[in-house]
Amino acid sequence: MIKSIINKAFTNAVLSKDEIMHLLNDNTNNDYLFQKAHQKKTELLGNKVHLRALIEISNICMQNCLYCGLRRDNKLVERYKMNKDEILYLANAAADYGYKTIVLQGGENNTFKIAELCEIIREIKAKDIAITLSIGEKTYDEYKLLKEAGADRYLLRIETTDSMLYEQMDPGMSHKNRKRCLQDLKSLGYEAGSGSLVGLPGQTLESIADDILFFKEIDADMLGVGPFIAHQDTPLKDSPDGNLTLALKVMAIIRLLLSDINIPATTAMEALHPEGRYLALTSGANVLMPNFTDELHRKLYEIYPGKSQVAENNSLNRAKINENLIRYGLQVSNSKGFRLGRK
């Protein structure tokens, strides 16, 4: 029964909500699910892994998400905002290492003016590098200006499609506005990325199944799935961590239903298991995001505990990464890694 659901997803890229829930509930065929997701990825995208150099440009955030160490009420964090020269220095270093995509990520804030970000984007683009932004909710016009400056992709996780849970976990934020942002990004021609947190307190398997169907409905170009990890300086500090296997299963089902998209092996997976990201890369993921943030800033960008340690163990050297990948039958890609058929 479970195998036939997995085979159906593999062949038709379609599942009902009931079928997804069966897969999430059952743990007898997880290896088969991971194997089929890996097979699907390999058949369509080969054994190449796209590398994206991550630069964490600011840890200032005006939002107050209960699960995040950067939430504005966490007064224990020393806040920073990189200046343009610091960002360009790291971006140039990444380009010199051969990276073809740079991800500029930061808390949601207005300390960066849009004009300032556009200038940074234009300078990086002059090096023929693809740019992904992950800087939160903006207006349509702001997204448009950033796109016109050269940004190619935008990551904005929905976190959960359960709007009540979302508004409980992200006080003051509107689920409707989050969806509006994703629609705007799609309509402006970005490669739009979303994703979810698995294991949030109060989250049900039914709502996780809804998340997966939502990703299929919006035809997201990239999807990142991370297990919830309790941060000691947040209101959720006593909540149990999410489950890595469940997060991997969600990711594998997404690969079967959205076969050609880009799926990162998230750092949160490695925070729960020393080989977490490599398990992900053999269960449907095809992207790695090595952290290029300098050591001082990286330590201050702790969305969840253990994140900076994973980053620290993360060699920036592509040859070294390639060596690690080869052990799993994988290889570093030399392309910018757009969604198949998009560019």
Q: How far is CA 58 from the centre of its chain?
A: 17
Least distance (Å) between residue 68 CB and ligand SF4 = 3
Residue from 224, 240, 236 nearest 272 by CA: 240
Least distance (Å) between residue 60 CB and ligand SF4 = 9
* Beta carbon nearer to ligand SF4, 157 or 318: 157
* Beta carbon nearer to ligand SF4, 86 or 108: 108
Candidate ranges 65-73, 92-100, 117-125, 272-280; the one touching ligand SF4 (CB under 6 A):
65-73
Contacts with ligand SF4, 97-126, as mask; x by CB under 6 A: ----------xx------------------
- Name which position in 49, 51, 57, 61 contacts ligand SF4 (CB under 6 A): 61
Dist. CA 297–CA 56, nearest whole Å: 8
Least distance (Å) between residue 59 CB and ligand SF4 = 8
In 3-state terms, the chain is what percent helix, strand and coil (to 5)? 45, 15, 40
Q: Is 284 in the site for ligand SF4 (CB under 6 A)?
A: no
Phi and psi dihedrals of 317, rounded to 5? -80, 120
Contacts with ligand SF4, 310-339, as mask; x by CB under 6 A: ------------------------------
- Characterise 50 by phi-psi region: left (phi > 0), alpha (psi -120 to 50), beta (else): beta
Q: Is 70 in the site for ligand SF4 (CB under 6 A)?
A: yes
* CA angle centred on 24, ends 235 and 153, rounded to 5°: 65
Residue from 121, 129, 120 nearest 96 by CA: 129
* CA angle centred on 191, ends 33 and 12, rounded to 5°: 35
* Beta carbon nearer to ligand SF4, 234 or 286: 234
- Give the contacts of 279 (CB within 8 A, at least 6 positions apart): 244, 248, 269, 273
* Beta carbon nearer to ligand SF4, 68 or 223: 68
Q: Is 63 in the site for ligand SF4 (CB under 6 A)?
A: yes
Residue from 239, 241, 212, 240 nearest 225 by CA: 212
Q: Is 230 in the site for ligand SF4 (CB under 6 A)?
A: no
Phi and psi dihedrals of 17, rounded to 5? -60, -40
- Count, residues near ligand SF4 per rule CB under 6 A: 10
> Which residues between 133 and 152 bind ligand SF4 (CB under 6 A)?
136
DSSP code for 79 = P
- Give the contacts of 165 (CB within 8 A, at least 6 positions apart): 200, 202, 203, 207
Least distance (Å) between residue 74 CB and ligand SF4 = 9
Q: Is 227 in the site for ligand SF4 (CB under 6 A)?
A: no
Candidate ranges 7-15, 57-65, 120-128, 262-270; the one touching ligand SF4 (CB under 6 A):
57-65
Q: Is 258 in the site for ligand SF4 (CB under 6 A)?
A: no
* Two structure tokens written together for 112: 């960066």
Point out which residues bind ligand SF4 (CB under 6 A): 61, 63, 65, 68, 70-71, 107-108, 136, 303
